A and B are shown apart, each in its own frame.
Chain A
Amino acid sequence: MKFTFSLKPENFIIERDDERCIRCGACVQQCAYNAHYFLEEKNKVLGINHNCVGDGRCVAICPTNAIRIRQAENPYRPNHNWSKEKMMDLYEQAENGTVLLVGMGAPTPHPVYWDKIILNASQVTNPSIDPLREPMEVKTYIGSKPDKIEVVFDNKTKKPDIKTKISPQLELEVPVMFAAMSFGAISLNACKSLAKAASEMGTFWNTGEGGLHRDLYQYGKNTIVQVASGRFGVHLDYLNAGAAVEIKIGQGAKPGIGGHLPGEKVNHEISVTRAMPEGADAISPAPHHDIYSIEDLRQLIYSIKEATDYEKPVFVKISAVHNVAAIASGIVRAGADAVVIDGIRGGTGAAPKIIRDNVGIPIELAIAVVDERLRKEGIRNQASLIAAGGFRNSSDVIKAIALGADAVYIGTAALMTLGCHVCGMCYKGICNWGIATQREDLTKRLNPEIGAERAKNLLKAWKHEIQEMLGAMGINSIESLRGNRLNLRAVDIHEPYLSILGIKPAGA
């Protein structure tokens, strides 16, 4: 029993229905945070509220549904300035003197523009399309598109052919891919689940900055390999194993700063995959130390293209921050085949809370301004635009495409298919669902057979919903929706955001 004097209040309350509790002890055995224990003398299972992180493992595992987790009320006097959360953070820093860490994306109460944007539907004059009866093209190609296409006809057969050389493209059966989440931040079983699901669905997953584990090379055709500032696991075979290479400059959860995987988490498998010493801290520096100008970026992009024989598209990923449009323009001109922008809602395994919650802009605005800017400059076709950061369902995806994106990355949503309850304790490394941890007793809880099935189910469902929404709009190809803001209307969005998004208010 620990007796330290602490001011930190509890976040969750464990409520157990004693009548339903059969004292099987599954909750005690399953909670890695030790929030439950068995008091033999009283033949009761009790909870330690302070340890509970609200990740729902015990609720799911209890065979008689005897447990309910409730948010603890605010024990302090109501104060609009000093909310419970602000007070807790302060107490924590007074006790430990450290930078507060968090996992997952910013939960801050900025407006979610997706919820204020609505879609069109066709009626009367422009008939809607039934996607189960008529062709509905949802396939998307990611890569640089040429300015114009020169068609030549074969002298003998009279068959047409394209003379223009087309840059390498990724072919997506559904405009949704799994976002970059490194092996190290998440478990190998989680990576396997996403890799398998992506392969079976005809889309892609991203290695993140953790390198590519040997067990995952078999999914290379559906893998986007990332080159981040730490260059973990980056070697020639790695670059050639994937279908595309992504240079990570920043991510939405922590723009401007690097990453840090503590040495305790760098076990044998991770050290081999990342090509670094076991037990050493894995630090990704804030800038790439060989990219200090846009010319440096261009040089890296072309080095990678050279190394991969120009067979793979090269993406560049940035956080969506103040001048995202200008930066994106620079990236396109530097030769990237796709620009990836990651908004403030983007997730992370570990980031300083103060950065995650305060740096970055909502992805809705970022997509709009980047698409607008690239079109204005006449270079929109030279790179695809991939958006990331808090996409929750297929309507968010459709709206993103209507605003101008070619495809989206899902991170949090993908982990939720594997069981994640967004408790935000990833940085602790004792994830009860076996996702954000390397502990073997926990990672075995995530069976990739089941994980891959669930992730695939999500993409299948979203694909079908996208087809339905397109059909309802009277569109039979997703290409027709791209950047087609006329299909969107805004509810309760005011200037200047209305203009930034480039959409009309509903009713107009």
Chain B
Amino acid sequence: MSYVIIGNGPAAIAACESIRTTDKEKQIIIISKEDKYAYGRPLITYQIAGIVEKENMFLRKKEFYEKNNIKVLLGKEATGIDPKNKIVKLDDGAQINYEKLLIASGGTPFIPPVYKEYMDKENITTFIKWEDMEKLEKMLPEINNVLIVGGGLIGIKAAEALVMKNKKVFIAELSKRVLSTVIDNKGAYYFHKELEKNNIFLFLENTVKSFKVKKNRIEKAVLQSGEVLDIDAVIMAIGVKPEISFIKGTNINTNVGILVDDSMKTSVDDIYAAGDVAESYDLVYGSKRIGPIWVSASEQGRIAGYNMAGKKASYRGRLIMNSISFLKTSLISYGIINTDIEYEKINVFEYERPDLNIYRRLNVVDNRLIGAIFVNSIYRKGIITRFIIEKLPFDKYKDILLSPNIGFIEFEKEYRNREINSVKGYSKTKTNLENTV
């Protein structure tokens, strides 16, 4: 009997590591749809740009799997689960028995129905995984004008890679700003400026109505606004949704993703879920949500692993956080950004220096920080997470949160002395919360 993990991303690797802190014996089996060992999907844009080599994209060295008795089944897809008999069915007909199962299958690209017919053309690709990277890499020498559909996290990073390879880039984005889920309008202005500086054509509040195809290649894109663009390639960067097709027929509760409790357990015993596929408790929203955040995937995988191996661990909840840069402009944002949608009673605190391209914004509700945006101002910003996680009173710390140099000196003496001398470090389990609040 083994631990079985469906999925081969950060959640899977983290789960392996935490399982092995408790159980060094029982085998772990990873079922990987892709035929590559665990690698960082976000790295594909850096590979295109020439910043990272393919062999450096893997999360762990080969020894990691050998040393830890992990068997990786590459290029196998899970097609179904039989919870009663504790079996995972694979696409090649094989059946894998599990003692504890972790579903960490991540997300698949979301293709709006209107584009589905174009997806098999030669010069169009999504931009999520390795094979997308290789497809684009092959195309790269022959193309010049590239249209990116979607100006979110993936779209912007793809644009950066193409600009570094001297391609002409067009971006079509539905919302009125790029990175719409992780930045506000004021902050996005700096990204728009940087995009413009690099000769990128940005079409906001716009999208592709249709494509003109010739000989199985997309030649033109017709935008909603009426513009017609001559293009050599298209990147679909609209977004991902949880990959849960294979759990049909089980009574694993889902909403958008797989619902899990504090120990990352699903509604079915011995089955856990972690990462982009899981719908777990979100610290800031105070309810269960999906959240495609790399850090959270690792955290959840780790928590799931502990529980699977028999060591109780209780997840404190996900904190949304994103770090992204486009050439010289960088962004770090936390928590709830889209204040116009969710809450009415938000106090907003801003600090802006347009001459230095610096922008800071804090969203505060009931004297507690619930979200923050930092453009071109990232020095030690991780300390901010304490305010959101531990729900520290905002008014006491308002000045340091807006200042360029955040540090421990503004905290209470006892708190900071305990923290800077922490023996175990910051924990993701609920016990950490009890000690600090």
Task: Indicate whether A and B are direct neighbours in the complex (CB within 8 Å).
Answer: no
